[in-house]
Structure 1
Amino acid sequence: MRRVLAVFYALTLLLPAAAIAQPPGTLISADPIPDAPAGAQAWRIRYWTTDQDGQVHEVTGLVAAPREAAPARPRRVIAWAHGTTGVAEKCAPSAYPESFEATPALDSMIAAGYVVVAPDYPGLGSPTPHPYLVGRDTAHSVLDAVRAARAIPGAAAGGQFAVWGESQGGHAALWTAATARSYAPDLVLAGTAAAAAPTDLAANMREGSDPNARAFLLALTLHSWSQRFGYSLDGFTNAATQGVIHRLAENNCLELGKNPRLGTILGILSVRQAVKKRDVTRIEPFAATMHANSVDPASVAGPLLIAQGSKDTIVAPAVTRGFARAVCKRRIPVRWIEIPGGSHIDGARGDRAGETLAWITARFDGKTPPDDCRRI
């Protein structure tokens, strides 16, 4: 018997981690964070999720909850889906102390008794290719983070949740709303808030008015999809530009309020010049992947809040408005917040953060959702 057990133990050591993984949403570990925000307790978590192909991955994230003793009833949960931080493993928000400061209205959410779950997404904080703007991969990691948080006794997280995201995270939030019922029927989605969310990926890539931002985001996308799906860049650009694309993606993490380095600026200009006559939105297999990972208005469950700055140079306001109108045609109530003169980062911050949190709380309270469809 000892020999049999020894052989079994040796085999488990040889198996890849995914082969012995628990079901998606299973918590692997929750390490307390000593310098949690005032009034909160927080953990850096590791948990299991699955991608759109059913492959199991270990991923990371943050959970924050009120410091006081757990209430008699489970706490409500808000899943915060962050904007683009990069596509390299080192770009995980949970690896940076500033992540709490970068989460809008975190203090207010904790004071209101919410558990805040903030997934890193696959490949950020974990050794797997980051699926940048790959809808199901990212949405699964959001839903499984909510599941994993329920296994932390001190958090007392329940199964009812709302999802709120900005930029890349707005895309993740909408995909979470589209897949929650089928992927995580054990959870109950109260509402979805999306700020400056790329919906039609090809349209946004073409119509974003900042050419430098377009070039940088194109580099992140091409690098990510070449790693995630094995796509070759040979049909799109030459070897020298490919090298610049990969270096931009591998060496740069984005942080709010920090300017890019000179080398990053030069790399962006190089990519911009090299691809100015090439439209990736019409080149396969990238075009098909953009279409597959755009948000289908018919799939998004309501109620829904959409916030969009009128001067957003990254996510084209006209594209967002068109998406909102398409959702409205399905008689889904949409709260439309347009920020006159607002930039890409204004949809989830400042006064809009408080307005969005109030909307989310009203959804948990069962109030009739406001509907702005007639004026969109």
Structure 2
Amino acid sequence: MTVMKKIGTGAFIAAGAIGLNALKNAVTFPATPAFYDPPSPLGTGEPGEIVRVEEIPWIMRTPGWRMLYRSTDRLGNPTVVSGLLVAPAGEAPASGWPVVAIAHGTAGLPRGAAPSLTIDANSDETNHLYATNLKPFLDAGYAVAFSDYQGLGAPGEHSYLVGTVEAANVLDSVRAIRRFSGIPVSDHLIVWGHSQGGHAAAFAVELAPSYAPELSVVGAVLVAPAAELRGIIDAVLEIEDHSFMSILVMVSVASWVRAYPELQEADALKGPGKLLLHPSAEVLRMKYGALCCKPFTPNQLFHASVIDTWAPIFDENTPGQRPMGVPVLIEQGEDDNVIPPQTTRSFVARLQANGEDVTFNTYPGADHLSVLDQGTPDAIAWMVGLPPEES
């Protein structure tokens, strides 16, 4: 049974950072098939090279493939990452399909949380978050390059909100679709991301000129992006009740301690937080998910001083400190209780002060998930209006 069947449509992964219903319910991740284990020895290769690919009974009844591809970690070491390649139905234009790189929201930290593992051709496409997220882009004639991110499908540790790794994973998924003979694509590339994916998409655009200069990014869509990290953590720490939002900080702490050996868990976590991240609590976390955090207020789990103690890491992983240089559409629901709207407004103001070409759409009454329903038609209309890539 896949996680999508277990926890239902409002849950966990594709639609958003800390998909809201799964934070309130027990989670069982699907078993990881042998496909996700890279060959050993792997041998050498370049980022974006496909290691393995298999056609899948894609839920949208359009051509789709599951893949393993090469990427890099925070230190530039080679890694293998899983993901999806999906084509629109019908015949491609003579120039090939334009590409949208989809950067998904929070899936978790453990291996087995990969979005590509939820594909099930027998699922109801109207009741499957990945399908409902991808369908508008496929219907609009975009081929999709979709990264699971490091460590969620293939072996490794997931680098949650580590911008350089997310960017490499997203950009290398585009390199992969360009190498793949099964989907003819053009050079036209747009990066789209929601929540954690908004963070990943922003870093992908910023780092593309140095990491993947051959890619022609023409624009980016950031939906409720996890951008102003200090502001988001500040908002979480101000919550006085027993909030499931504690998991947002817990996942960040766990990821950063793994990614940055110089960080000390004790600088971030109080006693209950340390216990919840202890290796002996792994089974508890896997079975009950964010319910483990629910009995505690954020201030019972975390030291507020972590924002200052880990200031260099917050700064390193906050997007908008390098030029984007392409048009950016940012969408935000005004009733979002995961990404505080004021943090997105601050991010927009900072980008505009830096001279970036930013369009900012807000959606009264929209929360962290419903902003996708309300904002995606506007996003596609904006994408279609972008000029072609430079030759």
Question: What TM-score do you get using the length of structure 1 for normalisation?
Answer: 0.82
- Take 2:93 and 2:259, find their aligned partners in 1: how far apart are those partners? 42
The answer to whether the 8 Å contact 2:102/2:192 transfers is: yes
Task: Indicate which of 340, 359, 375 corresponds to 2:364.
Answer: 340
Instruction: Trace 1:20-169 onto structure 2 (pairs within 5 A).
Output: 20-38=43-61, 40-97=62-119, 101-103=128-130, 104-169=132-197
Instruction: Specify which structure has the bigger relative contact order, considering alpha-carbon pairs within 8 angstroms and separated by 6 or more residues.
Output: 2
Aligned residues: 341
Task: Indicate which of 275, 286, 290 corresponds to 1:264.
Answer: 290
4+ residue runs over 6 A deviation: 247-251
Q: CA deviation at 1:282?
A: 2.1
The answer to whether the 8 Å contact 2:69/2:81 transfers is: yes
Q: CA deviation at 1:138?
A: 0.3
Q: CA deviation at 1:23?
A: 0.6
1:184-205 deviations in whole A, cap 9, x for unaligned?
1111001000011121211111
Task: Kindly provide the amino acid, as one letter, of the partner of residue 379 in structure 2.
Answer: T
The answer to whether the 8 Å contact 2:188/2:388 transfers is: no
| Corresponding position of 2:383 | 360
- Take 1:125 and 1:346, find their aligned partners in 2: how far apart are those partners? 27
The answer to whether the 8 Å contact 2:267/2:306 transfers is: no
- Take 1:241 and 1:16, find their aligned partners in 2: how far apart are those partners? 39
- Take 2:225 and 2:233, find their aligned partners in 1: how far apart are those partners? 13
1:186-236 deviations in whole A, cap 9, x for unaligned?
110010000111212111111246562441111111111222223331344
The answer to whether the 8 Å contact 1:30/1:152 transfers is: no
The answer to whether the 8 Å contact 2:136/2:376 transfers is: no
Secondary structure (helix, strand or coil) at the match of 1:269 reads coil
Structure 1 stretches lacking a partner, 5+ long: 1-13, 254-260, 367-376
Cα distance 1:72–1:237, how it changes in 2: closer, same or farther (>3 A)? closer
Larger Rg belongs to: 1
Q: Is 1:234 paired with 2:273?
A: no
- Take 1:322 and 1:271, find their aligned partners in 2: how far apart are those partners? 26
Structure 2 stretches lacking a partner, 5+ long: 1-38
The answer to whether the 8 Å contact 1:219/1:249 transfers is: no
| Corresponding position of 2:337 | 313
Task: Indicate which of 291, 304, 312 corresponds to 1:288.
Answer: 312
The answer to whether the 8 Å contact 1:159/1:186 transfers is: no
- Take 1:46 and 1:191, find their aligned partners in 2: how far apart are those partners? 26
Question: What TM-score do you get using the length of structure 2 for normalisation?
Answer: 0.79
Higher deviation after alignment, 333-342 or 166-175 = 333-342
Secondary structure (helix, strand or coil) at the match of 2:168 reads helix
- Take 1:149 and 1:319, find their aligned partners in 2: how far apart are those partners? 34
Cα distance 1:305–1:191, how it changes in 2: closer, same or farther (>3 A)? same
- Take 2:93 and 2:284, find their aligned partners in 1: how far apart are those partners? 44
| Corresponding position of 2:9 | none
Q: CA deviation at 1:335?
A: 1.3
Q: What's the RMSD between the two structures over aligned residues?
A: 2.7
Cα distance 1:43–1:274, how it changes in 2: closer, same or farther (>3 A)? same
1:73-131 deviations in whole A, cap 9, x for unaligned?
22100011111111111111001127973245522322332101110011110211111
